Chains A and B, each alone.
Chain A
Amino acid sequence: MCMAVTRKPKDEQALQGDWQEDAAFQYYLNKGGSAAKGQQEAPKDVRFTLHIPGALCQELDHIRDARPLKISRHQWVLEAILEKIQREGGQGT
């Protein structure tokens, strides 16, 4: 029976006949990257508003003030996020 609705063909189905059966040829092709994957853009920066208790913020500021070189709250929070990501097994890239 002829179906009116079909699934999207997979990439490997573009190969026909002798090639489709040839695992070595498929391996050879797949060693080449997909241009689309290579050209994926890096994720964009995300902005959000952070609400923290005043006391916690004061403590944060005291720690910042104690540094020989001062950094912004924003920078300090970023460092804290990075440290936590790395502690929990992430890359923090």
Chain B
Amino acid sequence: MVLVVGGTKGGSGKTLLATNLTVLRAVEGHDVLLIDADEQGSAMDFTRQRQQRRDGEANYTAIQTREADVAVQVRRMAPKYGDIIIDVGGRDTASQRAALAVADRLLIPFSPTSVDLWTADTVVVLLKEARTFNPHLHASAIINKAFSRGADNAETAAILQEYPDHWTYLDTLIGNRKAFSNAFGGGQAVMEYHPKDTKAIREVRALYRYIYDTK
């Protein structure tokens, strides 16, 4: 499966989800290629950090490329890797468009804030255009960086469910937990991080099951 973690808003946690899903998929025995199509290069930084921690072995392959070459690399690498996960930057870029033209699935994280939700319509436009070239692109929206209290998560969920023609809303939240950022900084997925944050692990596993166990 070729999975893009995308959207048009920066800071929604795309790289964090992409790297966690990559590690979890690899740990489960799959041959995974992580493509960093964001010029910030945070997924590659994560991979380098991970390699240093693990004597050079990240347990997946990572490359960095951009714009049209993202699509070229996916086409070239898809027969060699069971899974490709693409992290794109938080803007409507040629790199994201190229990725969407060749992907099976798009995962769109939204933080439960107005400023994130206001990008929903621009994502819809992007999806419509991408589907003219890739009609089978399946999209899912998820709340990332969910708050631990308050009505914001529920209000965000209600708005994200207003787009059934464009994406499936995933009724599982990823919390705004320190364990995610601490693990990321050390080149680890949250399930590898100590002290264990069982809620964070449970959330990522639920997302993983949704992505890879549902057709």
Interface residues of A (CB under 8 A from B): 11-12, 14-16, 19, 24-25, 28-36, 38-39
Contacts and interface: CB of A to CB of B under 8 A. Distances in A.
Contact of A28 (B66, B69, B93, B133): B133
A4 B94 CA distance: 32
B101 A25 contact: yes
Contacts, number: 58
29 contacts: A14-B67, A14-B68, A14-B69, A14-B72, A15-B68, A15-B72, A16-B72, A24-B132, A25-B101, A28-B97, A28-B101, A28-B129, A28-B132, A29-B97, A29-B98, A31-B97, A32-B91, A32-B92, A32-B93, A32-B94, A33-B91, A33-B94, A34-B94, A35-B39, A35-B40, A35-B66, A35-B91, A38-B93, A39-B39
Given A14-B72, A29-B98, A34 B129 contact: no
Q: Dominant SS at the A interface? A: helix
A7 to B, nearest CB: 17
Contacts of A34: 67, 93-94
